[in-house]
């Protein structure tokens, strides 16, 4: 396959953006897959801050990353990122929606999502990337999607490139990627 699907493309951007020693954020730890991947990219000289509001997600992520000492798991809302992170970051990644295999009624919501994205953009270093995988098929998902789209579409083009990477001939609202790079 030449044209990468959304999740592999997201990983390939992270691989390019994150180097050994970097500080990065996983805004939605979930089952810990991205946290683990980020931890391998930064290496032990870097640091991964991984947020989730659900204890179940924090526990699943803790188990998945137990081989690493440079992951800080934070059982709090990603809307409070700046309470925990002050260093410049090379990347942040978000998977919006609900916890896979978890309680589907607990979802990320527009207000806290926008707040956390703003905080990440402030922390982002030049050439750093903020990657947001948007799932909108669930109840409440389209409101969050619309709010995020409005926010990122109006980011100043002098400071940010905002890419939308989307498969447009599919049914059932497949996820798409927003990739924001600081200039």
Kindly state the smallest distance separating residue 175's Cβ from a copy of itself, in Å: 13
Q: Which is nearer to a copy of itself, 105 or 170 (CB)?
A: 170
Kindly state the smallest distance separating residue 28's Cβ from a copy of itself, in Å: 21
Give the binding range for a copy of itself (CB under 8 A) out of 43-51, 78-86, 137-145, 148-156.
148-156
DSSP string, 82-110: HHH--S-EEEEEEE-SB-TTS-TT-B--H
Among 10, 11, 13, 98, binds a copy of itself (CB under 8 A): 13
Among 35, 36, 152, 175, binds a copy of itself (CB under 8 A): 152
Kindly state the smallest distance separating residue 16's Cβ from a copy of itself, in Å: 5
3-state secondary structure of 136: coil
Q: Which is nearer to a copy of itself, 67 or 172 (CB)?
A: 172
- Contacts with 109 (C-beta within 8 Å, 6 or more apart), sequence order: 140, 144
Residues 156-175 that bind a copy of itself (CB under 8 A): 156-157, 160-171
Count of residues touching a copy of itself (by CB under 8 A): 29
Residues 14-73 that bind a copy of itself (CB under 8 A): 16-17
Max CA-CA distance within the chain? 43
- Contacts with 40 (C-beta within 8 Å, 6 or more apart), sequence order: none
- Contacts with 89 (C-beta within 8 Å, 6 or more apart), sequence order: 22, 23, 24, 25, 120, 123, 124, 125, 128
Q: Which is nearer to a copy of itself, 96 or 129 (CB)?
A: 129
DSSP letter (8 states) at residue 79: G
DSSP letter (8 states) at residue 74: E
Q: For residues 123 and 126, what is the distance between their CA atoms, to the nearest angstrom?
A: 10
Residues 88-147 that bind a copy of itself (CB under 8 A): 127, 129
Which residues are near a copy of itself by CB under 8 A? 1-3, 13, 16-17, 127, 129, 149, 152-157, 160-171, 179, 181
């Amino acid at each position: 396959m030449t044209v990468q699907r959304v999740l592999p493309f997201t990983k390939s951007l992270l691989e390019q953006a994150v180097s050994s020693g970097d500080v990065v954020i996983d805004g939605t730890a979930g089952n810990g897959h991205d946290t683990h991947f980020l931890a391998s990219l930064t290496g032990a000289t870097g640091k991964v801050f991984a947020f989730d509001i659900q204890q179940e997600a924090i526990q699943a992520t803790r188990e998945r990353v137990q081989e690493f000492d440079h992951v800080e798991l934070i059982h709090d809302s990603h809307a409070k990122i700046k309470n925990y992170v002050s260093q410049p970051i090379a990347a942040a990644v978000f998977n919006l929606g609900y916890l896979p295999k978890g309680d589907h009624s607990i979802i990320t919501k527009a207000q806290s999502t926008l707040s956390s994205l703003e905080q990440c953009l402030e922390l982002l270093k030049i050439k750093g990337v903020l990657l947001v995988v948007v799932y909108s098929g669930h109840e409440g998902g389209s409101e969050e999607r619309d709010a995020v789209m409005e926010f990122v579409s109006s980011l100043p083009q002098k400071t940010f490139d905002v890419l939308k990477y989307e498969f447009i001939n599919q049914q059932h609202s497949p996820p798409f990627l927003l990739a924001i790079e600081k200039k």
